[in-house]
């Protein structure tokens, strides 16, 4: 990633982003990070996730699934996490390339079969497909936009996590 130092583009602090890139170039181990969250069950199908110093992120199920519909459910939050990650990717990569984003909207949906979750059948309990439609209004030409889309898709941490098998350990503490 090439980076211009100083100033802002797309409200991105190019100096701070450039400093991070340079820090990782000078000390590659600085790129190795660990992120965490703590989730507490609050009753029925409700829970709250604590992340860093932020207000808890609530989760619930829709009424049709036995919840109280007080918050997005986990699979909706997963779609939102992917969309938010892609938005960050567009902001980083467009800004680094000198591309102005006038507007960006990312629509996501996914297909989920509830049979496995409800114990009605064996099989895959997760999404069978996720679709993402990116609506980008920019000053860039077609080739630059195509390159931007490809770069964002190839470098999204959440997108890459969802698209590849990774080790997942779930165990009692």
Q: Do 62 and 104 fall within a single domain?
A: no
Q: Do 44 and 122 fall within a single domain?
A: no
Where in the sequence is the domain holding 60, given as residue range(s)? 36-71
Q: Do 53 and 81 fall within a single domain?
A: no
Exposure pattern of 59-87 as b/e (b: 16+ CB <10 Å)?
A: bbbeeeeebeeebbeeeebbbebbbebbb
| Among 55, 71, 87, residue at a domain's last position | 71
Q: Do 100 and 144 fall within a single domain?
A: yes
What tens-digit pLDDT sequence spans the chain (173 residues)? 554 556 999 999 999 999 999 999 999 999 999 999 999 999 999 999 999 999 999 999 999 999 999 999 999 999 999 999 999 999 999 999 999 999 999 999 999 999 999 999 999 999 999 999 999 999 999 999 999 999 999 999 999 999 998 999 999 98
Question: Which value, in Å, is the radius of gyration of the alpha carbons in the chain?
Answer: 19
**H-helix segments, 63-135:** 74-96
Q: CA–CA separation, 73 vs 139, rounded Å? A: 36
From the list 54, 80, 172, the residue with the least C-alpha distance to 132 is: 80
Q: Do 128 and 45 fall within a single domain?
A: no
Q: Do 41 and 115 fall within a single domain?
A: no
Q: Do 48 and 120 fall within a single domain?
A: no
The pLDDT assigned to 1 comes to 55
Q: Do 90 and 114 fall within a single domain?
A: yes
CA quadruple 33, 83, 112, 161: dihedral positive or negative?
negative
Residue 55 vs residues 49, 51, 75: alpha-carbon distances, Å: 9, 8, 20
Q: CA–CA separation, 89 vs 158, rounded Å? A: 10
The pLDDT assigned to 5 comes to 54
Determine the 3-state secondary structure of 34 from DSSP: coil
Q: Do 114 and 40 fall within a single domain?
A: no
Query: For the whole model, what pTM was predicted?
Result: 0.92
Evaluate whether residue 91 is within a structural domain. yes
The pLDDT assigned to 173 comes to 87
Q: Do 53 and 80 fall within a single domain?
A: no
Rounded to the nearest 10 degrees, the angle between the axes of helix 74-96 and helix 14-26 is 90
Half-sphere exposure of 109 (CA within 13 A, CB side): 1
In the chain, how many domains are there? Answer: 2
CA quadruple 42, 71, 107, 116: dihedral positive or negative?
positive
| Pair of tokens at residue 93 | 């990569």
Evaluate whether residue 23 is within a structural domain. no
| Pair of tokens at residue 31 | 């790129």
From the list 111, 109, 108, the residue with the least C-alpha distance to 128 is: 111
């Amino acid at each position: 990633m090439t980076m211009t130092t100083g100033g802002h583009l797309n409200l991105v602090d190019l100096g701070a982003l450039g400093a991070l890139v340079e820090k990782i170039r000078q000390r590659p181990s600085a790129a190795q990070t660990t992120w965490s969250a703590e989730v507490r069950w609050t009753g029925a199908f409700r829970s709250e996730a604590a992340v860093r110093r932020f207000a808890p992120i609530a989760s619930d199920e829709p009424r049709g699934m036995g919840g109280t519909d007080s918050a997005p459910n986990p699979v909706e939050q997963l779609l939102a996490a992917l969309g938010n990650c892609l938005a960050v990717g567009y902001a980083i990569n467009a800004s680094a390339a000198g591309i102005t984003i006038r507007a960006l909207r990312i629509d996501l949906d996914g297909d989920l079969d509830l049979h496995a979750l409800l114990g009605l059948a064996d099989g895959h309990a997760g999404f069978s497909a996720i679709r993402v439609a990116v609506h980008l209004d920019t000053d860039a030409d077609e080739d630059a936009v195509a390159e931007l889309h490809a770069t964002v898709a190839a470098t999204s941490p959440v997108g890459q996590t969802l698209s590849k098998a990774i080790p997942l350990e779930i165990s009692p503490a």
